[in-house]
Amino acid sequence: MSEYTYITLRERPEWKESAAEWFHQKWGVPVEAYLACMEDYLNQDTENGWYLCLDGEKIVSGLGVIENDFHDRKDLSPNVCAVYTEEDYRCQGIAGNLLNLVVADMKSKGITPIYLVTDHTGFYEKYGWEFLCMAQGDGEPDMTRLYIHK
């Protein structure tokens, strides 16, 4: 099993462009949107950060924190977003390690609770997340699950 490196974008800002492109490829959100959020984080305009898992010089997993992850509960902020792990790297605890990293990092800054929306059930609970309520995704016909980590 490989040794992976877990980083925040502030620790390794040289990853900004690669990370923005990687998240864009996974989620289809414009690169410019990711870059704008990452710039705010790197410029200390927000504590909502970006977290990556690297296998050597390759991004294999990542997630971010934004004010609102495109849902109607604007009062529940900030939100973990864009959680993704490459298929070949799944089931190794990588996403769980990133989730634990983001929770600890945000708590160290006095930011708690944090939230996330997902259609998954059973995964986030393993890492201390609790189902809170259903939320309406922007432009989505169906409600989605909203979780909290205290």
- For 15-44, what is each residue's pLDDT tens digit? 999 999 999 999 999 999 999 999 999 999
pTM attached to this predicted model: 0.93
- Reduced to 3 states, what is the DSSP secondary structure of residue 72? coil
Q: In 48-114, which ranges are continuous DSSP H helix?
A: 94-108
Do 124 and 115 contact (CB within 8 A), yes or no? no
Q: Where are the domains of the chain?
A: 5-110
pLDDT, tens digit, 9 for 90 and up, residues 94-111: 999 999 999 999 999 999
- Any idea what DSSP says for residue 147? E
Q: What angle do CA 37, 38, 41 make, to 5 degrees?
A: 90
Cis upstream peptide for 113 (omega within 30°): yes
CA dihedral 84→63→136→121, nearest 10 degrees, is 50
Cβ of 24: how many Cβ atoms within 10 Å? 17
Percent of the chain at pLDDT exceeding 70: 99
Tell which CATH architecture fits domain 5-110.
Answer: 3-Layer(aba) Sandwich (3.40)
- 90 three-state secondary structure: coil
Percent helix / strand / coil, the chain, rounded to 5? 35, 30, 35
Q: How far apart are CA 35 and CA 38, in angstroms?
A: 5
Tell me what pLDDT residue 2 has.
Answer: 65
